[in-house]
Every structure is written in structure tokens, then in C-alpha cells.
Chain A
Amino acid sequence: MHISDGVLPVSVSLGGYAVSVALAAWSARRTTSVQLPKVAVVTSAFFVASLVHIPLGPTSAHLLLPGLAGALLGPVAFIAIGLGLLLQCLLFQFGGLTALGANALMMGLPAIACGWLFQALKGNTHLRHAVAGAAAGATGTAMAAVFLAGFLAAGGEDFFGVAKIAMAAHVPVIVIEGAISAFTIGFLFRVKPELLETGLVTPKKEIHG
């Protein structure tokens, strides 16, 4: 779930912008600038993936995928997520213009953390990859929920109730996200394991021209 316009105090949304821009610059420095167009194209794939709805009893939930993005892209995931949110703003207007910085932090920081978590946990076997994927997926969503609650609570004690309910609403999504990430990582391990080794966007090195 993304924060919409008009919810956050202006100081929080401006602060969110400042921190996001700094993190995006740091994230961009982790790869060669020639490779950034690749990040853009990969972002569109994640964007399309995040539109998939999973049925959940009478309703359905759409995937957030910060964990998976972190696992596959590494630190560049922050840029990818910021870009994805900007696209969402362009195409659908979920999570509006003024809340963009806060939303990028809410999804991007968990992605970076999950990238590290995934790299630390994944071993050499199929099972360990799947477990690491599950951990990354579930942690990513859980962290995003905590950030969401934190941002909402920044509005004052009037928002504490909303923050609690928003957190509770994320619990089933955390389970689904963990399972989906585990299965997806397992699939990629069997089908195209080199994606999990270095990711698509390689860190700074020479490219053959």
C-alpha cells in the first residue's frame, strides 16, 4: 500500500524527498552510468510483475516485491523502485506527487536491506536459495509495513489507529510475498541461475564494446 497525497505533513514529505534523492545518487554510483538504461528496462519488468494480483479469500492483494527486487538487483534496486513509483504516478496516480519521496524510502530501504540479506543467506543449493528468497520477500514486506506505519504516525497521534490497522493489513501480504519470492527464486535457480549470481546489472567493471 502506498501513501497518497495530502496525508503526510509537508516537512515529512520534503524530508523524504531529500533522503531519497541522496540514496538514489548513492545507488546510481554503484553501477556504471552506461548501465542505467538497463536498470530502467528491468524496472518496467518489476512494475508489470507488481500488478499481478494474488487471490486471498474474498479479496485479492497485489505484490509489492521489494524483497525480490533487492535480491535480483542489489543496491541498484533503490533506483528501480523510485523509478517504478514515478511511473505509477505517471500512469495511475497511486501514491502521489508530494508523497513520492516517502514512498520511495518506504519501499526502497527494505529492498536494499533484503539484497544484503539474500546475498548473505543464499548458499549453493536449491533449498537454501528458496529459503533466502522467502526470508528476503517476507522481511522486505514487513519492513515496508513498518515504514508505512512510521510515516503515518509522523502525522501525530490522530494517525496512530490508522497506522496500527495498516500494519495489521500487511500480515497476510507478508506470508504471500515470502512464498512467492521463495518459489520465484527457486524457479530462477533452476532456469537461469546466473541471474542470481551477479544480477543483471553488474557492479562497476569494463564492458566489451
Chain B
Amino acid sequence: MAETIHHIPLWYLPLLVILPIAALWAGVTGLRKTARKKTAADRDPDWSVPPLADQSQSGSFLHKWDVRCKIVTIVVFSFVVASLGHLAAALAAVALSLSVAVMIKVPAARLMLRLLALAGFLGMLLVVMPFTVPVHPGDTLVVFGGVEWLTLNFRGLLLASTIAARAVAIAMLMEPLLSTAPLPVTLHGLCRLGVPEMAAQMVLLSNRYVHVFSHEARRMSAGMQVRGFRKRTDTATLRTVANFLGMLFVRSFERTERVFDAMRARGYQDRFPEPVNLRLCASDLLICLAWLAAAAALVVWDRIIL
């Protein structure tokens, strides 16, 4: 079976390719700004408080679900989604993830921020892949005005959309996975699943100090701006930013020493106290089974029926 080739004039190129890209780019930038504004407004301005433990909507089944079941189920489901091969199956996974996110009432702005973080990489795939995938028999091609190297291949577009759908489906599960329990509880669940306790402690500590250091960095850059520093494309900017980084490292390394000394002075011995007592009950396993059954159904649909 030979490939189908459609010839269309070159002036369609801006209409069909460049215009959508520009619209997408403008939309993403605009949405990112509004989403950032919204999340910044309802958040505590003190960044030293980690924002992950969202207690405002505690009551859904995901909040009550045993944290170990939740982690195992969502991780397994993510890998299943990553293995889906057809666009329809991947879109079904997106619908499933979206319904979970809606069910536990994730704030739309936070969900949007997570998806927008993906936009750069996925946008690159969506733009590049239709023009670069090798031509296979049976492909549908669009040639713009006889320019041979500028050939749009629909198989590439389909492939890139499938990847984008898989990425979106997994990204939308991050909020249900992480914001339905305080981070220490999630990490405790991970430890009970066999992750070394030290790893969990390191995540907890660095999550805490990311906020402290970003506060520090913001103060330093405010000071630089007050003194008239503006970022440009030149070596002076590079040198200044490097000094800024160096200062950030010096300050934070010194702080690290003090934090560590303080922890040891309070009797830290490789352990934090356990945040909760976990107990497994039948309903936890039932939700787990139902979700994994949905995953299995997706795989069957993807591999056998489609």
C-alpha cells in the first residue's frame, strides 16, 4: 500500500501550521499567568509552609483511602497508561484521570499549572514529530507547495497526540496522589512499602528548605533589582547571575550546617517520629481493585480490540 500524498499550495502553511502554533503559545502563556496569579492568591504568602498538604477539601474517598493502596494503585495505573499504544485508549485514560480529579475537587488553577508545565515539551513534540517521522507505507502526507522537505505526516501527528494524551493523563493524577494527604503521611506510606526511611526524610527536608531558599533567592534578587540590575543577553548578566548563585550557595551551605547542628542538638538520630498509624481495611482494597480493573480494561481495549 503506497502512501497517500495531498498537494496543497505553500500559502496554506501559515494558516494550517504557524497560526495554530502561535495561538497555542499565546494561550499557554496567558493561562500560565492567570493560573499563577490564582494559586498565589489563595496560598499562604509565607513560602516556608509547604503547600502540598491541602486540608480544605478533606472528605472524598481519596482522602480516606489508605495511603499505601493509593500510592500502589496510582503508580501502577501510571505505568499502564504509559504503555497504551492507541490515541483512543489514551484519551479514555485522560477522561478517567479527569473524572478522579473532578471527584476530589482539585482546584482548577492548580491542575492547570501542572498541565502547563508540560506544554513546552509536548508542544515541541507536536510541532516537530509531524515533520520528522520517516514515511512508512500507508501514511497520509501533506506537501506544501511542492517543497519536498516540508512534508506533514499525519502518522507523526497521531503519535505525538498519543504521547501528549498519555502525559496529560498521568500528570492529572499527581494532584490526587499528592495533595489528598499531608506529605509526611504520603512518605510514611512509601516507607511502609519498602522505601528506605532515609530517602523519605530527605524528601521531607528538601521540600521544606526549597521554600526557605527560594524566599532567600527572592530577597536577593529584589536587592539586585533595587540596585538597578536588569537581565540582558551579555556577559555582565552572566557574571552577575553567577555571583548571585555563588552567594546563594554560600548562604545556604552555611545554613545547612546550622540546620544540621540544630537537628543533632535536639537528639536527631536518623529518624523522625511516625506521623500516623496506618491500618488497612476492606474498602481500601476494594477501591484499589476497582481502579486496577479499570486499568486492565484499558490495556485489553488497547491491545486486543483496537
Contact = CB atoms under 8 A, between A and B. Distances in A.
A158 B129 contact: yes
B114 A93 contact: yes
The secondary structure that dominates the A interface is: helix
B250 interface: yes
A37 B163 CA distance: 37
The secondary structure that dominates the B interface is: helix
Contacts, number: 234
Contacts of A98: 78-79, 82, 170
Nearest to A35: B260
A5 B122 CA distance: 10
Contacts of A187: 242-243, 245-247
Which of the four size classes fits the interface of chain A? 35 or more
B80 to A, nearest CB: 9
Most chain B beta carbons < 10 A, residue from A48, A63, A86, A87: A48
Contact of B178 (A40, A55, A90, A179): A90
Nearest to A199: B253
B124 A162 contact: yes
B250 A89 contact: no
B244 A40 contact: no
A160 B128 CA distance: 10
B241 interface: yes
Most chain A beta carbons < 10 A, residue from B164, B247, B249: B249
A68 B242 CA distance: 11
19 contacts: A6-B164, A7-B167, A10-B82, A13-B79, A35-B260, A42-B252, A44-B206, A45-B256, A48-B216, A51-B214, A55-B233, A89-B174, A92-B113, A96-B174, A97-B170, A158-B129, A179-B238, A180-B241, A183-B239
Interface of B: 52, 75, 78-79, 81-83, 90, 113-114, 117-118, 120-122, 124-125, 128-129, 131-134, 156, 159, 162-167, 169-171, 174, 178, 183, 198, 201-210, 212-214, 216-217, 231-233, 235, 237-239, 241-250, 252-253, 255-257, 259-260, 263-264, 268, 270
